[in-house]
């Protein structure tokens, strides 16, 4: 069952960053795809539009721009 005896720890994937400003996003778990798959959908990223893609301030900016159109 346990195959981790002689293994080094695998590197974690890099942190998620905001697509707009590059700030590190919070509320998005770091992990390999199989680890992320074990998590519930709401645990994977903030439950709002652009959650896990843009930081809150950039998302707000986009909402304002969209409202203006």
Contacting residue, 17, 36, 51, 58, with Zn ion by CB under 5 A: 58
The 8-class DSSP code of residue 43 comes to H
Exposed / middle / buried, residue 52 (Cβ in 10 Å: 0-12, 13-18, 19+): middle
Q: Which stretch binds Zn ion (CB under 5 A): 14-22, 24-32, 38-46, 60-68?
A: 14-22
Within positions 20 to 49, which residues make up the interface with Zn ion, using CB under 5 A? 20-21, 23
25 neighbors 59 (Cβ within 8 angstroms): no
Residue 59 binding Zn ion, by CB under 5 A: no
Minimum distance, C-beta of residue 66 to Zn ion, in the bound complex (Å): 16
């Amino acid at each position: 069952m346990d195959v981790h005896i002689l293994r080094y720890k695998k590197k974690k994937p890099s942190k998620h960053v905001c697509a707009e400003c590059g700030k590190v996003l919070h509320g998005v778990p770091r992990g390999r795809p199989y680890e992320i798959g074990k998590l519930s959908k709401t645990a994977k990223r903030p439950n709002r539009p652009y959650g896990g893609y843009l930081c809150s301030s950039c998302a707000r900016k986009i909402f304002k721009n969209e409202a203006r159109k």
